[in-house]
Structures are given as structure tokens and as C-alpha cells.
Amino acid sequence: MSLASREKVTAVVVTNGRDFSYARTTLDAVGRQTHLPTATVLVTTAPLARDLADTEPHETLPNFSFVSAQGAPNFSAAVNAGLEDVGREGWIWLLHADSAPEPQALDHLLRSGEHSPATAIVGPKQVAWDGQHLLEVGIRATRSARRVPEVIDDERDQGQLDSRSDVLGVGTAGMLVRASVWHELGGLSLDLGPFGDGLEFSRRARLAGHRVVVVPSAVVRHARLSLPRSFAPRRRAQILNALIAAPAWLMPLMWVGYILGAPVRALLRLAMKEPPFAFAELRAGGLILGSLGAVLRGRAQLPSASHAALRQLEDSPSDVRAYRREAKRSVEEAQMLAQRPSSLELKARADLKDRTFKYGVLAALLGLAMIAVLHLRNLTSGALVGGSLLGDSHTAGQLWQILVAGWSPVGDGAAGGLDPFWALLIPLVWLGSIVGASAGGVATFLHVLAPLAASLAAFRGAGTITTSPPMRLIAALMWVAAPPFLESQTYGFVGPSLIHVLLPLAVSALVRAWHGELNQVFALALVGALLSAITPAFVLAFVVASFAGLVARSGQRLRWLWVALPAASVVALALEAAPVRSLALWLSTPGAPALSGGDRVSTARGLLDFFATASPGANPLTWVLYVGPVAMVVLAVFAVLRGLAWKAVRFGWLAVALGLSLAALAVAVRGVWVPTSASLTSAGTLPQVGLSVTWLGLTLAVLGGSYKLRTRSRSRAFGLAHTSVAAMALTLVAASLVTISAWGIRHPLGDILDGAASRLPAIASPMQSGEYKNRVLALIATDDGVRAELWRRDGLEMSEQTRVGARASDAANKELSQAVADLAAGSQEAAGVLARHAVGIVLVPQSDFALRNRLLANLGSNPGLEFASATDAGIFWRVGSASSRLMLDDHPLPSGTVSAKARVDATGGVLRLAERNDPHFIATVDGEPLARLDDPWANAWTVPGRGTVEIMYDNEMHRMLVALQIALVMVSVVGALPLWRRRGVIE
């Protein structure tokens, strides 16, 4: 065919201003075509591109023109601006500014189109800008527009796909379109571009009865400048194509499914260690939410032909999966060949892995043995109580309601809702409900399982300092033999026990995250949230770690910023929940506080010998308990003298200093309020947390001191070096075993944990859970007087004795304390005061104190109380006055745990809610808000007349904090999953 008889071609080159250097190359490549286009139009969306058109001579480009399309939102709109004067004859050649055609590209494309009138779209083979690596030869995709990844990253062009002709679609970079078809179909979609527009336009052409072909001999070098950080618009383009091509009845369901599925896909991206893609998934979901109009416009442009015309060209989802598996296998094989170690190294790795597994099993057996030593007597007792460990009958649903509501139903109520520690345990409580366990059972399970978890955690943590499996096992033994851990296990200190488990995991995650392991960044953030939920002071350590990562780890700053966020959200919830914000809050732990007095006083000597809760006693045999701590200190000093592994040793001694300071502060601070007698008194916080940090420091120093001991001894003749290594190992093992054995045989307070038993008489529980939500006032005789406790459940439960429940003396406590004193003195008016606190039962539990008999006599003669019965739980009376959580004057009304809804048939009165006064309680009658009244401590409103009363607790700030904590913790959990990032695929 002669040049004179060939059809005319209008070339359109689009530049956005960021690709000027590539645009010059592309224009030069168009000018070097063996068959020149009839006209060339340079379209720019940037104001400075005028310079590009003015400075280039373009003598080789006939009929060159420049069109400014500033404000054009995408490639499609820019092309339309450049084709305003183009008629229906000839062809249109579309080029991106970064897609330079080879000299014969247009000739081959045009020749293919001229051979068949049915051909409407002709596409080239796209290669990388270097001309060596293959990008695509046409588009293979499913009906939902999922691309088939037939070309892997950096795959060289060897003509492997050059036999291809008819395809489902081609990209717009180098696309040649028959002008008549362009006008017939309305051009490219204005809702797509630069991604997905070629596939959508090719589909329309196919449905209109035209051919879409690719010509592999026509090559275009494509830099793909718009590809980096483009996942969100690419995902949007894929979804739009899927919705446009979907059956009409299925499209609305798919649209909703894509929107709801965006958060799920984001979590999966996090699990696959692709955080940028995770945020892009959420962004794409948001874009689709506002793209329904684009979908409807795209469907309106579709020809009326049946979609069956495309089925032979569309791939199936199984094809996509098969190609992805093949791409992954190819990448893995290439990496294996490039990084394959020697056979000797492979054997050494296999041997180390096998030995590590065997010693890991021994570490697990060590943990099980510790459980037997500490808890064998109680393994079949179910939920345990004693010391700081209390029973708790809450279910996961009840804990969730308290968490979301923001109000803690304990005593006379407290703002803040559920303590963060219990908030994080809700999933475990839910799992425990499958076997009938409540929150108390889960707390017991965690406490009893702590030795096993601590042993395995120490074994893993030691792996960041030493690769020697025996030394890692010795580290696990040293860790479970730590005196603060033994005390925490014996006295039911659940919080310190769990901190002892988490500390090695924090060290392990920190070291691995510092060396670039992405999932360990999330693991570190998750451990930080757990530690801060138990003791808020730990958030400071994670803020420091986050700052250090921001400063020192260039290229990873965003991930290190994440480290402190979950811990900060947990502490924010704790601060919002706690009524008393003091230093004690930052050092407190969940569970019943340790009462001051008696043999359980923490002293300075106790901090130095690590037995902070109790002295070993006067028996000389019990002094062997000190063998372990003394050996640890001596070997830690030896590690300093060796001068090797200085990072681990110095970090260890820094932890020793910080831990001792934390423990000393815990002893000195008095701010946890405990109900005693007719008032509240304060008790010290627990030093075991700081002592565990100190023990961690000593362990790190000792492990650092063992660095290369065995390696260096091998290169020498048998002598002092070998003896030193053996002596060090034997000392650590013997000292740890001696400490464990001595503690198991004779610890100071004996076995104080026992199975939980109900503390309520049978009649009280239905009254507590009934419509009036009555409370039980327990008057407990002690050697210091009478301690009053206000129960809403089976005694004071563990989730109630946390930072949320800790409260200094206020109006409610003062009134109740005075009522208790008057009641013990025989005052009749005290019963009416008890009714104001919704007390329906007064209980005197069993005890051996003489004061109990005097108390029983006074209560028995009080006319405001009605004797009910005597049971194993104690002796109890009913309060004679009508009482309920919600009262209208003197009439009880039904109520819920936090909210309330009741019918008022009286002409009006004073509505009173027996919860501490809080402005977030809102009362309405038939939807109309009620006016508040002043009350010494409760919530009160004026009810004008009949109607339905509703009371809600509405704290928007609390709900925002809860949502933030849940989101941050969930992201950290998913990101910490030990899954590998997918390789070899773009999306």
C-alpha cells in the first residue's frame, strides 16, 4: 500500500507537567516514525507546558499543534480537549507523555488496522523505559476486571507473548483507535483514567461488534510514572470496571459489598505486611462510596449486545490465582538461586533449628513444672480467689456494655466505664464463655498459665541476644525463678504476673523491629498496649522507643510513629476513667490493692533482695532464697568486666536502674483507696512490676556476658576458660533451682489462693439482678473495726477493683460511711439512708472477730432492718424502707444496669437515680428532657406528669476513645500476625 493511499492518523500526546523530560523524548520518538502521523497534538494539563511546545522546533512533526487543557481531571478529559476538531475519518493515536514509540510502531499498528475493517482498536506491546523488560501485551482480565499477572516484575522481553493477536483489551499508552468508532462509542470514559480506561473502552468496542487486537511488533517504551503510590485509584478503576460489567441485578449488591469489604481487605493487607496498601484499600472504599453516578454513566454507555460476546476472551478467577502462584514460585526460585548458601551452612542451619526446637520443648516443660510447683493444689478448683486475685462473674457481653456505656456499675457508680485491662481481655472472656468461664475464670487461667508463658517468652526473648539453645533455656529458668514473679504468683498479683510474661516479648519485638521486621513493629505496639493497660507508666517507655525510631531509623519513621499509639490510647482511656489522677494511677495494677500493714509491708531491704512482699523469715534454711539474686548480680557485674556485647549489657544495667526506681516509687506512693471501717484509707502500689524490670535488666546483662564464651573456649586448650563457662552455667541453673525449690517448700504466707465460693445468700442475687437492681451492704468485722462494702454482684469483683473503682472520699462515700456508723450504733434513721443507695440487703459475713457479735446485736435490735436468715455466707437483714436504683419520690421504679426506662403513672414528683451525680446522665419523659435538681451526690430530676421515663448515659468523648483504642489495637493485632508479604504481583 502506497503512503499516499494510507489512512490519516492524528497523534495525541498528553502531558501533565510532571513528565516534561519524558514528553520531549516521546515527541522526538513520534518524529522519528517510519510512517509519520498526519497531525500531532500536544495536550497539557499544566500551565508551564507552553514552554515545551515553544522551545521544540518540531520540524519533523507535520501539522503540530498545542492545546492547553488546564483543569482536566484525567487523561480522558485531556484527550477529548485535543480532539475537538478531529472528524470521523482516519485514526487516533493516543500517547502518554512517558510512552515513547519505537520507529516502526505506528506503521505496524496502522497496517494491522487497515487489513480488517472490523478492527477498531489496535494496541502495541508495552515494555519498560529501558526497552528490555516486558510490561504487557494486551490486557487479560476477568469480568470483574482483575488483571491476570502473566508478566512478573523485571521479566525480560524475549518475545514470549508475541504470538498474541485478538485480546479483551489494550492500554491507552500507544492505543490506535478508528476515529469513526471513537465518535460512535463516545470516546474514553471521563470517570476513568489513567487506570482502567483502556479496558473499559475496549469492552465497549467489543460489545459493539468491533475487534480489539494487539500488535507485538509495534513496541512502546512506557515509564509508567503514574504507577508509584497509585493503588487506591487503580483499585477504584478495577471496581468501577467490575460494576459496569456486572449483571444489573447483581450490581447494587456488589457496590455495597465492595464498600463494606474495604475495611476487611485493609486488615488483610496489614496481615500481609502491606500497610501502604491497607490505607489505600480504605481510601478506595471511600472513593467507590461516591462513585455510584460514575457506575451508572458507564453502564448507560454500554452497547445493548449480550455480554456473552466477551466470555471467550475473559479469564476466570482461577486463571488469576494460577498465574499468581506461578509468579510467586518464579520469584522464590530466583531468590533461592541468588541467595543459596553452601551445603555446610544449610546443614548448620538445620542443626541449629532442630536443637532450638528441642530446647524450646524443654522450656515448655519447665513452665509446666513451675505450674505444678505453684498451683498443683488448685488446678481443679476453677476460678481462684485470695490475695489480690478476686472472683468475677461478668460475662463478655456485660463487660462490653460497661466499656461502651462509659459508666462503671460498682458501689454508687463511677464515670469511665471499664478499666483498659479488662477491655483488652473481652475477647478472651468471650472465648472462655464457650467452656462456661466468666471473667474471674479467665483471670485465673491467665494467672495459672503465666509460668508456662513466661518460660516460653524468655526463651524467645533470649534469642535476640544469643543463638545458643542451652543458654536460652537457662535464661528461661532464670526468668521463672525471679523472686518478684514467685511472689506475684503466690499472692495472686495477676497484673505483675502478666507483666513478667510480656517484658521478654517486648525486648524481642523491639530488637527485631529495630532490624526492620515490619510485623514486629506491630507486635511491639501491641505489647506496649498490654503493658500500659496493666501499668500505665509503661507508656513512657514506648514513647521513648517511638521517638528513638523516628530519629534513628530513616526510611521507617512512619512505622515507628505507630509504636506508641496503641499504648497512648490505652492510657488515655485509663486517665479518662480514673476519678483520681495522681502518680499512683501511673503505677497501679488491676486487682485488689495490697493493704498496708502486717507482714506484707514493702521495704527498702525488700527491694534490694527482690522479696518485696514478705521476708524469708528467721529460719536459716530459708536464706537459700537469696542464692538466685546474689548469683544474678555477681554474673551481671562480670558481664560489665568482660566488655563484650556492650549494647545488651548497658541496656540491661539501664533497665536495672529504671526498675529499682519504679519499685521504689511504688513503695513510696500512697494513693490507691481501699474501703475500711466507715471510711476509706490508702494503700501502697505494688513494687513487683519494677522488680520484674530490674530482673529483666540483670538477665540481659548476664546473657550479654555469656557472649562468645563457648566459642572462645573451643579455640583454647582445656583450662580456666572451660571451667569458667561450666561454672557460670552451673551457677545459674543451681541458683535458680534452689530459689524455686525453697520458695515452693516454704514461702511465708502459705497457699493463700483457693477456689471461689459464693459470698451471697440465696435471696440476695435475685434482688441484685431483678427489676429494682438492689444492692447488698456487707459489714465485715476485722481487727481494725468494721469495713463496709457495697456489692452489686457476688462481692467486690476483680473488674470492679481497678483504677475505675478507686475513689477518694466524696459525698456518696461520706453519707454511706456515716450511715454504717449509725447503723452499728443502732440508729433507726440509718435504714432510710441505705435505701437512698439502693441497698436492699445488709449482710454480716462469717468471721472470728469479737466485734462481729456486738455488730450483730446492734443490727438485730434496729427497727429499720428486718431479719431474714442465717446461712453459710453469714447473717442478713432486709432493709425495711422501699429501695431501688431508680425512685420516684418514695416509689421504686424498674431500672437497667446503666440506663433505665419506666412508666410513670403519678402526677409528677422527684425522679432520683442512685448513681453518682454526672451530667452525662440524661433523663426524658416521652422524649422531652427533664430539668435537673440539686442532690448531695445522686442524679435527680423533676417529673412534671405521666409518661415514659428514659434515662441514658451519653458520653461521646468516651465512645470516641473506646473506638480509637479498638481500632489501634485491632490494627496492631492484624499487623503482628506472622504472615509474609506477597511478592511477584503488583496488587
Q: Is residue 352 within 8 Å of 468, Cβ to Cβ?
A: no
Q: For residue 961, what is the enclosing H or E element?
A: helix 956-976
Q: What angle do CA 402, 405, 407 make, to 5 degrees?
A: 70
Which residues, in sequence order, are CB contacts of 174 under 8 Å at separation 6+?
Answer: 93, 94, 95, 99, 101, 105, 109, 123, 124, 126, 218, 220, 222
| Per-residue confidence (pLDDT) for residue 598, from 0 to 100 | 35
What pLDDT band is residue 674 in, cutting at 50, 70 and 90? very low
Strands 947-953 and 921-925, sheet pairing: antiparallel
Nearest-angstrom CA–CA distance, 721 and 727: 10
710 versus 254: the higher-pLDDT residue is 254
Residues 521/527/528/531 CA torsion (nearest 10 deg): -170
Asked if 749 and 811 touch (Cβ cutoff 8 Å), the reply is: no
For residue 937, name the pLDDT band (cuts at 50, 70, 90). Answer: very high
**pLDDT digit string (tens) for 720-771?**
555 766 777 788 888 888 888 877 776 644 456 666 667 777 788 889 888 9
Position with higher pLDDT, 449 vs 587:
449
Distance separating alpha carbons of residues 489 and 378, to the nearest angstrom? 12
CB atoms within 10 A of CB 593: 21
Q: Count of alpha carbons within 13 Å of 399, Cβ hemisphere only?
A: 26
Q: Distance (Å, rounded) from C-alpha 206 to C-alpha 196?
A: 16
User: What integer is the mean pLDDT of 862-878?
Assistant: 86
Q: What are the Cα distances from residue 380, in Å, to 369, 372, 383, 434, 445? A: 16, 12, 9, 18, 11
DSSP 945: S
pLDDT category at 673 given cuts 50, 70, 90 is: very low
Q: Classify 93 as helix, strand or coil.
A: strand
What is residue 884's predicted lDDT score, i.e. its pLDDT? 92
pLDDT at 720: 58
- 642 three-class SS: helix
Band of residue 783 on the pLDDT scale cut at 50, 70, 90: confident
Average pLDDT over residues 537-544: 94
Q: Is the pLDDT of residue 602 over 80?
A: no
Q: Give dist(CA 833, CA 640) in Å, integer.
A: 65
Q: Is 5 exposed, middle or buried (0-12, 13-18, 19+ CB in 10 A)?
A: exposed
Helix (H) or strand (E) holding 727: helix 720-745
Q: Which of 243, 234, 43, 216 is closest to 136 using CA atoms?
A: 216
pLDDT at 601: 40
Taking the C-alpha atoms of residue 325 and residue 318, their distance in angstroms, rounded to an integer, is: 10
**Spatial contact of 580 and 673, defined as CB atoms under 8 Å apart:** yes
The whole-angstrom separation of Cα 405 and Cα 5 is 80
List all residues 6 or more positions away from 20 whose beta carbon is below 8 Å from its beta carbon: 48, 49, 52, 97
CA dist 320 to 238, 239, 262, 389, 678, Å?
Answer: 14, 16, 20, 55, 73
pLDDT of 596 > 50? The answer is no
pLDDT at site 606 = 57
Q: Give the model's confidence band at 593: pLDDT under 50 very low, under 70 low, under 90 confident, else very high.
A: low
With cut-offs at 50, 70 and 90, classify the pLDDT of residue 475: very high
| Band of residue 497 on the pLDDT scale cut at 50, 70, 90 | very high
| Residues forming beta bridges with residue 942, ordered by sequence position | 910, 931
CB atoms within 10 A of CB 259: 18
pLDDT at 863 over 50: yes
Rounded to the nearest 10°, the torsion over CA 226, 232, 237, 243 is 180
Residue-level pLDDT at 361: 96
Report, as an integer, the average pLDDT of 507-534. Answer: 93
Q: Which three cell numbers stand for residue 233?
A: 485509584
Cell digits of residue 691: 522488680
* Residue (of 357, 367, 363) closest to 459 by Cα position: 363
Q: How confident is the model at residue 968 (pLDDT cuts 50, 70, 90)?
A: very high
In the prediction, which pLDDT does 920 show? Answer: 93
- Return the sign of the alpha-carbon dihedral for residues 632, 638, 640, 646: negative
Is pLDDT above 60 for 842? yes
pLDDT mean over 107-114: 94
Q: Are 801 and 593 in contact (CB under 8 A)?
A: yes
How far does CA 945 lie from the centroid of its chain? Answer: 49
How crowded is residue 268: how many other Cβ atoms within 10 Å of its Cβ? Answer: 17
- Say if residue 200's pLDDT is above 90: yes
* Per-residue model confidence (pLDDT) at position 118: 92
Residue 671: predicted pLDDT: 47
Which range of 235-244, 657-666, 844-853 scores highest in mean pLDDT? It is: 235-244
Q: Which of 297-311, 421-435, 505-519, 597-611 has the lowest average pLDDT?
A: 597-611
Q: What is the mean pLDDT of the chain?
A: 84
Per-residue pLDDT band at 670 (split at 50, 70, 90): low
Q: Is 914 exposed, middle or buried (0-12, 13-18, 19+ CB in 10 A)?
A: buried
- Confidence bin at 681 (pLDDT 50/70/90): very low
Radius of gyration, CA atoms only, the chain: 37
Instruction: Give yes or no for residue 881 having a pLDDT over 60.
Output: yes
Which pLDDT score is estimated for 230? 87
Q: What pLDDT sits at residue 682?
A: 42
The 3-class secondary structure across 776-808, one letter per residue, is: EEEEEEECCEEEEEEECCCCCCHHHCCCCCCCC
Residue with more model confidence, 822 or 363: 363
pLDDT of residue 713: 55
CA–CA dist 383, 753 (Å, integer): 10
Rounded Cα gap, residues 403 and 423, in angstroms: 7
Mean pLDDT of 6-34: 89
- CB under 8 A, 24+ apart: contacts of 860-863: 861/826, 862/823, 862/826, 862/827, 862/828, 862/830, 862/831, 863/828
Looking at residue 982, its pLDDT comes to 53
pLDDT at 675 over 50: no
**Contact indicator for 672, 684 with CB cutoff of 8 Å:** yes
